[in-house]
Structure 1
Amino acid sequence: MEIHIKQKDLLFLLGCLGLGILAEISFFHGKIGLSYPVFITGFYLVLFLRFRLSFNHRRIGVLLMVVIWILAGGYLLYDNDFFHVLNLLIIPVLVFFHIVLITSTNRFRWSKPEFITLLTTKLQEAIEYNAAFCKWILNKTFKNMNEQTAHTIKRILIGLIIGIPLLLLIIGLLISADAVFQEVILHIPNFILQLNYMEEIARAAAIILFTLLFFGIFQVLQVKSKPARNSMIERAKKEIRWDSITAVTILILLNTVYVLFAAIQFTYFFSDGLLDGLTYAAYARRGFFELVFVTLINWAILISFLKLVKDDRKGMKLTLKVMYSLLIAVSGVMLISAFQRLSMYEAAYGFTVDRILAHAFMIFLIVIFAYTLIRVWMERLTLLHFYLITGLTFYTALNAMNIEQIIVDNNLNRFEETGKIDIEYLDSLSYTGLNGLISLYEKEPNYPELKNILRNRKQQMEWQSTGSWQSFNFTRQEVTEKLLELDIGY
C-alpha cells in the first residue's frame, strides 16, 4: 500500500497518541470502572473531530451509539462480573461496527453479508496502512544518512533485538551457577532494582500499539473500499433451491411428531406438579434440552426453508405457510413449557444468573418466533434485520436491568416465604450479592455462617488500599461504605 503523509496526518497522529495513552490509563491500572465511559468519551471526541458531522446510516448509528454508552456505563453503575468480562469483547466489536457503518456510503446495507466483508476489508486496510506508515517512518529516519551508516545502524538494532534476550538468559544461568557472581549482580544500586523496567516497557508498548491501531483505522475509514465478491458464491446462492414438495414432506413429518409429542405431554407441560419419578432437576433439564432442540432444529429449518424454498403456485405457497405456522406454534408450546419448568426449579432451589439468563433467552426466542410467524404471511419483511436489532436490544436490556439485583431481590423474597437462601451463592456474586447478604443480616443476624462471611469480607476491605479513579463504581462504593459501617462484632 502506498501512502502520502501530510502535516495534518502527523497532527492527527498526536491525537491518536493521546487516545492511546488514555486507553492504557483506562484499561491497565486496576479494575475497570469509571475509566470505560471516560475512554469512550475520548474515542468519540477524536472521531467527531476527525470527520466532523459527515456521517451516514444515522438511525442505526444512533441506536448503536446508545447501546455502546449503556454497555460502557454498566462499568460505572453496576458490578456484574459476567457482563463486564463479556463486554470487553462486545463493546470493541460494536464500536468498530459503528464507526465503519457511519463512515461508509449509504449503498452498503448493514444487514447484508457484504457489510461483513467491508468490516474485514477495513481491518485489513488498517493493518496495511500501519505497515506502510512504519516503513515511511524508517525511510524518513535514514533519509539523511549515507547508505553505509544506515545499514550499520540497522545491523546494530538487529543485534540488540537478538542479543538482549540472550544476554538475560545467560545472566540468569550464571547467577544460578556461581554464588559470587550472583552477589556481584545483586549489589547493583537499589534504586535501579526498584525501577520496574518491564512494566514500563510493557505500558509503552501498549500505548504504541493502541496509537497505531486507532491511527490506522481512522485513516482508512473514509477511503473507498471495494469489498471483493466471490462470483462462485454468488452463483451458488442463485442456484441453490430446495424442492417445495420435499420441504412440505419434511414439515408434515416433523409437525406430526411435534403435535403428537405436545398432545401426549400437554397434561403435565402446564400442570402444577411433576410426573412420578421426576425430580425438579430432571424436569428442568428436560425442558432445557427441549429448548435447545427448538433452537437448533426448528429455527434452523424455518430460516432455511424461508430462504431456499420458492414456489409460485398458490396452493403450494399456502401449504408451506400453514406448515411453517404449525411448526412455530408447537415450538411456542415447548418454549412456554420450558419456561414454566425453570420457574418451578427456581421456586424450589433459588435464583441464579444462569437461570435468569435462560429465562431471558426463552423470551428472546418467543419474540423471534413471533416475528418469524409474521414474516411467513408477510413476505416483504426481512428476518436478519429484525434478528440483529432485537438481539442487540435484548443484550443491552440485560446489561441495563442489573440482573444480579433481580437475583438478590428474588432470593430475599423467597427467604421470607420459605426461610431458605443460599448465602454461599450470594457471596460468590459481585458487590450486589454482598449487599444482599447485608440486607439479610439486618433481617436475620443469627443466620448460620452469615456473620462469618460478612466479617471476612469486611476484613478484606479494611486491608485493601483505596482504589484508583479508573476503578470507581457506584455499586462498589455504596456497598463498601455500607459494610464498613456495619456493626458485626468479633
Structure 2
Amino acid sequence: MPPRSAPPDDSEAIASYRQAAPSTPLLPNVRAPRATLAAALGLGVLAEVLLDRPLWGVSFPLVVTALLGTLVLLGGRESWQRARPNAWLAAPLLVISGFVAVRASSWLLALNLLTSAALLLLLTHFWAAGRVQRLGLLGYPLVALSATFRGLLYPPALVRDSVDLRAAREHAPRLLPFARGVLIALPVLLVFCVLLQSADAAFAGAMNRLFDVDVWTLFGSAIGRALGVGFSACVAAAALGHALRRRRGQERGEAEAAPAVPRLGLTEALTLILGVDALFLVFAGFQVAYLFIGGASSPAEGYTYAEYARRGFFELLLVSMMTLGLVMALARWTRRESPLAQGAFRVGATLMVALTVVIVASAVKRMTLYEDAFGYTRLRLFTHVFMFALGAVLTWRAVTLWWRPERFAIGAFVTALGAVVAVNAVNPDALIVRLNIARATDSSGPDVSYLSGLSSDAVPELVRDTAPAQGWRTGLLLQYKERLPAEGSWPEWNLAHARARHALQGAGALGHQQ
C-alpha cells in the first residue's frame, strides 16, 4: 500500500481558503481589524448604555471623548504623528459636544449635534493625512460626504477581516438535515397538539397559557438593545476604520488646490467691480443717513419704520451673500498679469467688500429696529449671530485679497465654529427673556405665550428679580415646573435643567419636591 500523506497544516489550509475566497474589491483594507472590531463593539455597548435615554446630558460628550481616546490608542505613535497637524479639530469637537450637557434649547441641541458630526467627519478624514487648511470652501462638504459614504464600507470590511467564515461554511451542510427535520416536524406537532388539547382540559389550559405569553415583552427590550448596540458599533467602526485607513493615492487636503486658469480680462472685471462699487456707495449713503445719522423716520409713505425694517432685511442679506460669492469668483477667474493690475483689482474688490459690510450693518440695524417693535425670538437672535459671522467672513475676505488668499476657506470655517460657540455662550432663551421683559412697558408684560415655549435655559433669568405684582411670572413658572424633566440618572444630567430646578425651588415653585 502506498504511504498515507501527512495531514495538511491548518495555517496553510486557512491561507488557501482565503486565497480561494471571493474577493471584495469594493471593501477597503483595515489595519488591526480584530482590535478595531473589538473597540467598535465596546463603543457600541457604551453608547447604548449612555445614550438610550429620554434626555442626553453628560452622556454625549462622554461618548465623544471615549471615541477620540479609542482612536488615539488604536492608532499608536505613527498614526498620531500623521494626525497631529489636524488634532486641533478635537478641541472644538469636545467643546461643542460638551454644550449638549450645558444647554437645554432644542435649537441649540440640533445645532450642537450637527456641528459635532461635521467635526467628527473632518477629524476622521484628516487623521490619516493631509491638512484641513488646504481645503477650499467646497472641500468641506465634499470631505464630509466622502467620509460618510466611505465609512459605510468599514463595518463589513472589519467583519470580513476579523471573522473566519470557513468553519461556518464547512458546517453549513450538516445543518441542512436538521432544518429539514424541523420543517417536517412542525405540522405533525401542530396536529397532535390540537388533538391533545381537545382530549384534556388541563393540558389545553397549559398550552393556552404558553401561547398567551407576550414574546415581545420578554425579548423586545433585549432585541432593541442589541439593535442599538449594533447601530452604534457600526458608527464607531466607520469612524475608526476611516480614520485608520490605508490610503490609496492622493486625497483631498494633501496638497494645495491648483489655481484656476484665469478666463476673464482685467478690464471686464474692473468694469463690473467699479459699477457695483458705485451702486453700493450710493445705497450705503442712504442707509447711513436714514439708519445711523437721521431720526429713523419712515422713508416711504404708508410704511411704519418696523415694516420698513422687515421689508428690506432679507433682500440686504441676500445681496451681501451674493457679493461675497461674486468677489470670490472674480478673484479666482480674473487675469492679473502685472503688479499694477493686481493692485487695481485688490483695491476695487476691497472697496466692494467694505461697502458690503456697511450693507450687513444696515441689515443688522433693521433687524434691531424690528425686534424693538415686535420683540425678540430665537430665529431673530440666530439671525443676528449669522449676520455678525457673515460680516467677519467678509472682513476676512478683504484681508485675504492682500495676504494668503488660499487661507480664506479655513478662516471662514473657524468663523462658523466661533459662531456656534458664541450662540451657545449667549444662551438665546435667557437673553430673550431678559430683553423682552426689559422692553415691556405696560402691566400686561411681555408676550407670555412665546416665553412659555422656551426651554429650561430661560428659567433662572425668569426667576431673577421676581416682583409679587407680576402675576404673569407666576403662571410661567408653574408651566416650566410642569415641563421640567424629573431628575434622572447621572448620564442625563444637564446644567440647564439643574439650574432651572434650583431656581424654581428658590422661588418656591417646586416647594419641597426633589
8 Å Cα contact 1:290/1:334 also seen in 2: no
Structure 1 length normalisation: TM-score?
A: 0.79
Q: 2:94 matched to 1:94?
A: no
CA 1:256/1:457 → structure 2, altered by over 3 Å: closer, same or farther?
Answer: closer
Q: Report the counterpart of residue 52 of structure 1 in structure 2.
A: 76
Q: Which runs of 5+ in 2 are unaligned?
A: 1-23, 184-204
Moved more, 430-439 or 33-42: 430-439
Q: 2:46 matched to 1:22?
A: yes
Q: Describe how 1:287-366 pairs up with structure 2 within 5 A.
A: 287-366=312-391
- Using the TM superposition, give the Cα deviation of residue 457 of structure 1 relative to its aligned residue in structure 2, in angstroms: 3.6
CA 1:346/1:326 → structure 2, altered by over 3 Å: closer, same or farther?
Answer: same
Please list the CA deviations of residues 145-183 of structure 1 after superposition, one character each: whole Å capped at 9, or x if unmatched.
Answer: 16x3367799999x9xxxxxxxxxxxxxxxxxxxxxxx9
Return the match for 1:458 from 473, 476, 481: 481
Q: Report the counterpart of residue 241 of structure 2 in structure 1.
A: 219
8 Å Cα contact 1:33/1:473 also seen in 2: yes
CA 1:131/1:8 → structure 2, altered by over 3 Å: closer, same or farther?
Answer: closer
Letter in 2 for 1:61: A
- Using the TM superposition, give the Cα deviation of residue 38 of structure 1 relative to its aligned residue in structure 2, in angstroms: 1.6
8 Å Cα contact 2:134/2:257 also seen in 1: no
For the residue of structure 2 that corresponds to 1:278, the secondary structure is coil
CA 1:447/1:127 → structure 2, altered by over 3 Å: closer, same or farther?
Answer: same
Return the match for 2:168 from 134, 142, 162: 142
Q: Report the counterpart of residue 396 of structure 1 in structure 2.
A: 421
CA 1:300/1:327 → structure 2, altered by over 3 Å: closer, same or farther?
Answer: same
8 Å Cα contact 1:78/1:473 also seen in 2: yes
8 Å Cα contact 2:108/2:424 also seen in 1: yes
Q: Report the counterpart of residue 446 of structure 1 in structure 2.
A: 469
Letter in 1 for 2:285: A
Letter in 1 for 2:51: F
Distance in 2 (CA, whole Å) between partners of 1:29 and 1:290 is: 43
Q: Describe how 1:267-306 pairs up with structure 2 within 5 A.
A: 267-270=289-292, 271-275=294-298, 276-306=301-331
Highest RCO, 1 vs 2 (Cα 8 Å, sep ≥ 6): 1
Return the match for 1:263 from 278, 282, 285: 285
Q: Describe how 1:243-254 pairs up with structure 2 within 5 A.
A: 243-254=265-276
CA 1:427/1:434 → structure 2, altered by over 3 Å: closer, same or farther?
Answer: farther
Letter in 2 for 1:309: T
CA 1:328/1:138 → structure 2, altered by over 3 Å: closer, same or farther?
Answer: same
Q: Report the counterpart of residue 56 of structure 2 in structure 1.
A: 32
CA 1:238/1:186 → structure 2, altered by over 3 Å: closer, same or farther?
Answer: farther
Distance in 2 (CA, whole Å) between partners of 1:291 and 1:410 is: 25
Larger radius of gyration: 2
Q: Report the counterpart of residue 468 of structure 1 in structure 2.
A: 489
Distance in 2 (CA, whole Å) between partners of 1:448 and 1:123 is: 52
8 Å Cα contact 2:378/2:432 also seen in 1: yes
Q: How many residues are treated as equivalent by the alignment?
A: 456
Distance in 2 (CA, whole Å) between partners of 1:229 and 1:10 is: 26
- Using the TM superposition, give the Cα deviation of residue 419 of structure 1 relative to its aligned residue in structure 2, in angstroms: 7.8
- Using the TM superposition, give the Cα deviation of residue 55 of structure 1 relative to its aligned residue in structure 2, in angstroms: 3.6
Please list the CA deviations of residues 383-426 of structure 1 after superposition, one character each: whole Å capped at 9, or x if unmatched.
Answer: 11211122222222222332322333333333489984222222
Distance in 2 (CA, whole Å) between partners of 1:43 and 1:311 is: 48
Q: Report the counterpart of residue 162 of structure 1 in structure 2.
A: none
Q: Report the counterpart of residue 172 of structure 1 in structure 2.
A: none
Distance in 1 (CA, whole Å) between partners of 2:404 and 2:133 is: 19
Distance in 2 (CA, whole Å) between partners of 1:186 and 1:370 is: 77
Distance in 2 (CA, whole Å) between partners of 1:200 and 1:56 is: 41
Distance in 1 (CA, whole Å) between partners of 2:469 and 2:246 is: 69
Q: 2:222 matched to 1:200?
A: yes
Please list the CA deviations of residues 280-322 of structure 1 after superposition, one character each: whole Å capped at 9, or x if unmatched.
Answer: 4322223422432333321111111011112214443333223
- Using the TM superposition, give the Cα deviation of residue 330 of structure 1 relative to its aligned residue in structure 2, in angstroms: 1.9
Q: Report the counterpart of residue 372 of structure 1 in structure 2.
A: 397
Distance in 2 (CA, whole Å) between partners of 1:281 and 1:190 is: 67
Q: Report the counterpart of residue 176 of structure 1 in structure 2.
A: none
Q: 2:434 matched to 1:409?
A: yes
- Using the TM superposition, give the Cα deviation of residue 49 of structure 1 relative to its aligned residue in structure 2, in angstroms: 1.6
Please list the CA deviations of residues 451-487 of structure 1 after superposition, one character each: whole Å capped at 9, or x if unmatched.
Answer: 33333443455xx654232321122022124324544
- Using the TM superposition, give the Cα deviation of residue 84 of structure 1 relative to its aligned residue in structure 2, in angstroms: 0.4
Q: Percent identity?
A: 21
Letter in 1 for 2:488: G
Return the match for 2:501 from 472, 480, 484: 480
- Using the TM superposition, give the Cα deviation of residue 67 of structure 1 relative to its aligned residue in structure 2, in angstroms: 0.9
Distance in 2 (CA, whole Å) between partners of 1:261 and 1:108 is: 38
Letter in 2 for 1:467: G
For the residue of structure 1 that corresponds to 2:383, the secondary structure is helix
Letter in 1 for 2:475: N
For the residue of structure 2 that corresponds to 1:83, the secondary structure is helix
Distance in 2 (CA, whole Å) between partners of 1:236 and 1:52 is: 33
Distance in 2 (CA, whole Å) between partners of 1:387 and 1:140 is: 52
Please list the CA deviations of residues 221-280 of structure 1 after superposition, one character each: whole Å capped at 9, or x if unmatched.
Answer: 3333236789xxx99974462222222222233223222323345421323423153224
CA 1:184/1:119 → structure 2, altered by over 3 Å: closer, same or farther?
Answer: same
Please list the CA deviations of residues 24-47 of structure 1 after superposition, one character each: whole Å capped at 9, or x if unmatched.
Answer: 223221111111122122212211
